[in-house]
């Protein structure tokens, strides 16, 4: 599938800044990511609120959309602009398109009050393919009147229960194969699978914005980390990492949305994460193994194990490591220890990430790209770059 290849300079730099990196480390991060930056391309046209659809999902129109959203922010401010655009037409699917990256970029923009970065995020969104749209079809055309949404969609199941049922659902056996080159696209191209995923998504019991965000935040962390632990070792799925960093972005954005907007965004994220779960081979969640994990880098008699993890994350060269750790640290601060999963489960998750994702600056060494739910992944000692 096609998506905008995003710069991670802002993400890595700001995550390190928030963790207290010194100027030397910040300069190292900047220099590394600046080395592959390209000049911004020229605008191909002038876009307005009346003509914005003319180049929708055209990545060559990025600068044209950047100019549009820069003007919008100057006229209406950041928050009004964001609320106006991210729920317009198919924009919600495009916001989560490109492996959640426009949403992640927007999260950093809102958190650090960066209007120009906000415009970048919205431009990414406008240029991204709306490939998640089929799995989000049940969210289309919802208005500020939330009653219709509740009557049609509100289920009775927790996120964990839904994923555990999906794990056992034989209808999904052999839908995606280890050898598939474009696993996510193959899911979206299968109308039978998409229909069933929408049914699963509709089973999620949405309570309210705050408690449902907490549930989705904690679950996304457990899905990412507990799915990668086996007797053979640990491999962390690159794609599921983005479910964590993107729900962190939602945590930042949600307070500025209306109740129905918050619900739409959370449900959209849940639906897309279901899709990626299938695309990654429907891995089992080894929650007991995560709870019992002992880091090889743990410091005996440490006064604060979290500070040790943060120190390791700051040193990690691969940018997704610190972003995922910071997301988990945010969840720890906001929600404490989830009682259902034992004490220190979030700390354990962060320790796994710095132990595995922090070991290399090369993404396909630090993370698994082939899909950790496939038995071939665990038979292969090397990380396969099939997506």
Q: Which ranges in the chain belong to alpha helices (H)?
A: 9-18, 23-34, 62-76, 78-85, 91-96, 101-111, 115-127, 147-153, 159-168, 183-188, 191-202, 209-226, 238-253, 259-279, 287-291, 305-315, 319-335, 345-356, 363-366, 375-379
Q: Is 259 helix (H, G, I), strand (E, B) or coil?
A: helix
Q: Is 84 helix (H, G, I), strand (E, B) or coil?
A: helix
Place of tokens 């995606």: 176
Residue 323: which residues within 8 A CB-CB, separation 6 or more? 11, 12, 15, 104, 245, 248
Question: pLDDT tens track of the chain, all 387 residues?
Answer: 334 456 789 999 999 999 999 999 999 999 999 998 889 999 999 999 999 999 999 999 999 999 999 999 999 999 999 999 999 999 999 999 999 999 999 999 999 999 999 999 999 999 999 989 999 987 865 544 455 555 556 899 999 999 999 999 999 999 999 999 999 999 999 999 999 999 999 999 999 999 999 999 999 999 999 999 999 899 999 999 999 999 999 999 999 999 999 999 999 999 999 999 999 999 999 999 999 999 999 998 999 999 999 999 999 999 999 999 999 999 999 999 987 887 899 999 999 999 999 988 888 888 999 999 999 999 986 655 444
- What does the block give as tokens for 163? 């994923």
Place of tokens 């959309």: 65
Domain limits of the chain?
A: 9-127, 131-387
pTM: 0.94
């Amino acid at each position: 599938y096609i998506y905008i290849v995003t710069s991670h300079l802002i993400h890595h730099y700001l995550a390190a800044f928030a963790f207290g990196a010194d100027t030397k480390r910040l300069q190292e991060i900047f220099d590394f990511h600046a080395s592959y930056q390209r000049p911004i391309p020229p605008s191909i046209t002038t876009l307005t609120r009346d003509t914005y659809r003319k180049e929708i999902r055209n990545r060559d129109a990025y600068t044209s959309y950047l100019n549009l959203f820069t003007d919008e922010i100057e006229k209406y401010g950041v928050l009004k602009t964001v609320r106006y655009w991210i729920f317009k037409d198919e924009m919600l699917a495009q916001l989560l398109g490109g492996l959640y990256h426009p949403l992640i970029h927007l999260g950093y923009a809102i958190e650090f009050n960066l209007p120009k970065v906000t415009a970048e995020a919205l431009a990414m969104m406008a240029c991204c393919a709306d490939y998640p749209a089929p799995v989000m079809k049940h969210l289309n055309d919802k208005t500020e009147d939330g009653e219709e949404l509740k009557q049609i969609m509100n289920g009775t199941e927790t996120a964990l229960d839904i994923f555990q049922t999906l794990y056992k659902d034989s209808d999904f056996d052999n839908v995606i194969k280890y050898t598939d080159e474009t696993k996510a696209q193959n899911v979206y191209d299968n109308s039978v699978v998409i229909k069933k995923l929408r049914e699963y998504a509709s089973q999620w019991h949405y309570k309210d914005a705050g408690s449902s965000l907490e549930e989705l935040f904690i679950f996304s962390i457990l899905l990412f980390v507990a799915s990668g632990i086996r007797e053979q070792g640990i491999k962390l799925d690159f794609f599921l990492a983005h479910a964590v960093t993107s729900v962190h972005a939602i945590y930042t954005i949600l307070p500025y949305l209306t109740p129905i907007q918050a619900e739409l965004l959370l449900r959209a994220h849940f639906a897309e994460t279901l899709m990626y779960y299938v695309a990654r081979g429907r891995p089992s969640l080894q929650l007991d193994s995560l709870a019992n994990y002992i880091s090889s880098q743990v410091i005996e008699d440490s006064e604060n194990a979290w500070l040790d993890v943060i120190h390791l994350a700051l040193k990690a060269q691969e940018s997704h490591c610190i972003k995922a750790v910071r997301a988990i640290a945010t969840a720890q601060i906001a929600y404490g220890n989830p009682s259902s999963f034992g004490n220190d489960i979030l700390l354990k998750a962060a320790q796994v990430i710095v132990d595995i994702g922090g070991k290399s600056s090369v993404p396909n060494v630090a993370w698994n790209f082939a899909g950790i739910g496939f038995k071939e992944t665990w038979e292969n000692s090397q990380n396969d770059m099939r997506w």
